[in-house]
Amino acid sequence: MRTILGAVLLTAFAFVTQAQAQTYGAPITLEQARKVFSAAEAEMKKNNWVQSIAIVDSGGHLVLFQRADGSQFASAKVAEDKAWSATGFKRPGKMFQDRLATGGVETRILLLRGVSAFDGGDPIVVDGKLIGAIGVSGGSGEQDGQVSKAGVAGLK
């Protein structure tokens, strides 16, 4: 038990120290969230996908959300979880997904509360400061990631 607790604490410490380079900024504004959302929605529609899109601020609070007609209702919570994870850990869900895929010691990630280890959750960074995040759910992991990244790019 002591070894497991030590491993979890070491992993959490590694995430925190790696995340220090990127600081939190002022929360995303509604205008900025709308730009991110519009770009994500355009990507979703261009590909005829049906997804939920959630935008959270730098404190992980929901700012803007939409569940497309026909999207499974579970995708609503998953999209918000992906966005919260990207904000809380200052990392894309894809990074956690890729690390988990290596197996072994990386499976400790599953013990971190609130981690959403799936593509489709990305931090929104402006001037080196994390102001929020986007989470997308309802498609395949790759599709969710594509829409999420398009949303982030929409603010640039």
pLDDT in tens, 53-85: 999 999 999 999 999 999 999 999 999 999 999
pTM: 0.86
Res. 156 pLDDT band, cuts 50 70 90? confident
Q: What is the pLDDT of residues 5-47, one digit of tens each?
A: 444 444 444 444 344 447 999 999 999 999 999 999 999 999 9
Do residues 151 and 43 touch, judged by C-beta distance below 8 A? yes
| 97's tokens | 């997904």
- The pLDDT of 95-120, averaged and rounded, is 96
pLDDT computed for residue 15 by the predictor: 46
Strand duo 121-126 + 23-24: pairing: unpaired
Burial 31-44, CB ≥16 within 10 A → b, else e: ebbbbbbebbbebb
**Candidate CATH numbers 2.40.30.10, 3.30.450.150, 3.40.50.2300, 3.55.50.30; the one for domain 2-153:** 3.30.450.150
Mean pLDDT over each residue of the chain, to the nearest integer? 90
d(CA 154, CA 149): 9
pLDDT computed for residue 20 by the predictor: 44
Burial zone of 22 (CB within 10 Å; 0-12 exposed, 13-18 middle, 19+ buried): middle
User: What percentage of the chain reaches a pLDDT higher than 70?
Assistant: 87
- Residue 64: other Cβ atoms inside 10 A: 18
pLDDT computed for residue 104 by the predictor: 95
pLDDT computed for residue 142 by the predictor: 98
Q: Give the C-alpha distances (Å, rounded to integers) separating 108 from 96, 105, 144.
A: 11, 6, 24
pLDDT computed for residue 21 by the predictor: 44
Q: At residue 1, does pLDDT exceed 90?
A: no
